[in-house]
Every structure is written in structure tokens, then in C-alpha cells.
């Protein structure tokens, strides 16, 4: 089974590239983040024509997550149970399903905006709710993983220049401690480094030629339990999909499972 995660930064804007990538990559299950559309506007039909079912948690212009699968969608959970509200409601940032016997979550962790902002506290509370939600599956015997845009760089090696992030979110001790607590449920980072590159970043800002200069971050992560990790035969960041006109600012992270 080939499984991937990709923050598409608007599924409407990225649809031609998404469809072409699904067809060429042979991906069986794709965790999508930042759909930026209401569920009623989600492109179910063109995905169905390629053989993919879709489970969607999306409400409008911002956020939104989905799971695309051509190996089945069962036990669908929409939203993060016990997750915190922001601005009076729970944002569409999580969805889970069982696909071909593998249980997966697609997550889009809050950005946090800036240290001391209410959104930063919301981010930490959201990560704690995620930890609590997945703990049972993480410790179980079924292959299980949480994939998505975590908006946290786990180590200093996961940003192009740690000094450039002084005083900013994504690299703070509290955010990294929240990731460590998530891993302590029985999960591990199953995408090995250095892969084909010294720094296998997954995100590069559109501004200031960040991609050509490789000024990126590794914030799109795959945390799997022991049965999932044992099944991983290969993994890579598809940097080619970050190139060219109309690209997302994130690249897909792809894994091959022997299940």
C-alpha cells in the first residue's frame, strides 16, 4: 500500500495537479490538509472517476482536511473528539478512517500565529486533545498512523536556520514537548532522515525564493505505531511536486507499506 500526506493549500486551486499526481504516483491513500472549501464544493466526482472515495471535514474558506482512498474507507471519525474550540467552534482540522486495514488520521494542527497569542494556546490544547484521542490506537496491534501538517519542526535540524526562527512559533519547547508527548503514546517518526537530501524539508514559503534557496521546514510528519513502522518499506518527500506554476507550498510525503 502506498500512503501519503499533502497540504495542498486549496484543493480547488490544486485540483489539476492533484489528479495528475494521484494518477502518476500510484498512491492508494492520501491524507489531505488545507482543502479551503466547503464540503459541498469538494471535488468528489473527479476523484471518484480515478477510483478514490473521499471522507471530508471541511466547512469553508479556511482549514479543512480529507482522506482519499482506493482501498476502502471504514470507521470514519469526523473531527477531533474532545478538541478545543476557537472563536466559538471546533475548526475542521482532523478526520480518521480505516483504509485497507490501516487506521489513519489526517490532521492539520493549528499554526499558533505567535507566542502569547490565543491561537498559540489553542495549538497546544489541540495537540493535547490529539494525544488523548489517539493513545489507544497508538498502543494497539493494528497498523496506525497520524499524518499531516503538524506546524511544528521536531528538531533544529528540521528548519533551514534555527536562528531565523528565534522568538517565533513552530520551534518552541512547548510545541516540541507536545509532539514528544504524542510520540510517548507509542508512536515514532517513521520517515527516516536524511533520505535523498541532507535536509528533507516539506514546506517552503512562497516568498523570498525560499524553495530555490532550500530555506524550508520539515513540518509534514508521519507518526506511526510499531506495527505501522515495521511495515514501512520506503519513504520519500516528493520535492518535484513543489516545483513549477501552481504548486502548493508543501510537498507530498510518501510511504510504501508492506501490508
Domains of the chain listed by start with CATH number: 2-257 (3.60.10.10)
| pTM of the entire predicted model | 0.96
Q: How far apart are CA 188 and CA 223, in angstroms?
A: 5
Report DSSP state, residue 250: B
Contact indicator for 70, 48 with CB cutoff of 8 Å? no
What confidence score (pLDDT) does residue 174 get? 98
Cis amide bond preceding 194, omega within 30: yes
Residues with pLDDT less than 70, the chain: 192-199
Instruction: Write the CB contacts of 85 (distance below 8 Å, at least 6 apart in sequence).
Output: none
What confidence score (pLDDT) does residue 248 get? 98
CA distances in angstroms from 193 to 24, 232, 235, listed in the order given: 25, 14, 10
What confidence score (pLDDT) does residue 61 get? 84
Contact indicator for 222, 216 with CB cutoff of 8 Å? no
Contact indicator for 57, 65 with CB cutoff of 8 Å? yes
Helices (H), the chain: 11-25, 44-49, 118-138, 173-183, 226-231
Amino acid at each position: 500500500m502506498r500512503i501519503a500526506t499533502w497540504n495542498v493549500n486549496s484543493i480547488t486551486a490544486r485540483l489539476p495537479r492533484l489528479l495528475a499526481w494521484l494518477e502518476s504516483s500510484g498512491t492508494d491513500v492520501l491524507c489531505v490538509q488545507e482543502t479551503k472549501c466547503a464540503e459541498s464544493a469538494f471535488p468528489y466526482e473527479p476523484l471518484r472517476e480515478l477510483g478514490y472515495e473521499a471522507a471530508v471535514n471541511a466547512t469553508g474558506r479556511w482549514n479543512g482536511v480529507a482522506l482519499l482512498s482506493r482501498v476502502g474507507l471504514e470507521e470514519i471519525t469526523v473531527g477531533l473528539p474532545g478538541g478545543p474550540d476557537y472563536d466559538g467552534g471546533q475548526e475542521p482540522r482532523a478526520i480518521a478512517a480505516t483504509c485497507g486495514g490501516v487506521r489513519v488520521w489526517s490532521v492539520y494542527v493549528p499554526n499558533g500565529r505567535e507566542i502569547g497569542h490565543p491561537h498559540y494556546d489553542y495549538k497546544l490544547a489541540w495537540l493535547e486533545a490529539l494525544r488523548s484521542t489517539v493513545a489507544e490506537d497508538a498502543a494497539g496491534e493494528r497498523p496506525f498512523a497520524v499524518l499531516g501538517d503538524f506546524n511544528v519542526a521536531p528538531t533544529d535540524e528540521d528548519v533551514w536556520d534555527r536562528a531565523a526562527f528565534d522568538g517565533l512559533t513552530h520551534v518552541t519547547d512547548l510545541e516540541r514537548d507536545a509532539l514528544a508527548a504524542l510520540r510517548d503514546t507509542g508512536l515514532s517518526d517513521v520517515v527516516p532522515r536524511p533520505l535523498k537530501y541532507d535536509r528533507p524539508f516539506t514546506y517552503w514559503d512562497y516568498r523570498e525564493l525560499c524553495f530555490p534557496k532550500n530555506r524550508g521546514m520539515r513540518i509534514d510528519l508521519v507518526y506511526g505505531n510499531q506495527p505501522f513502522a515495521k511495515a514501512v518499506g520506503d519513504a520519500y518527500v516528493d520535492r518535484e511536486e513543489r516545483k513549477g506554476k501552481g504548486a502548493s507550498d508543501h510537498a507530498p510525503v510518501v510511504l510504501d507499506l508492506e501490508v
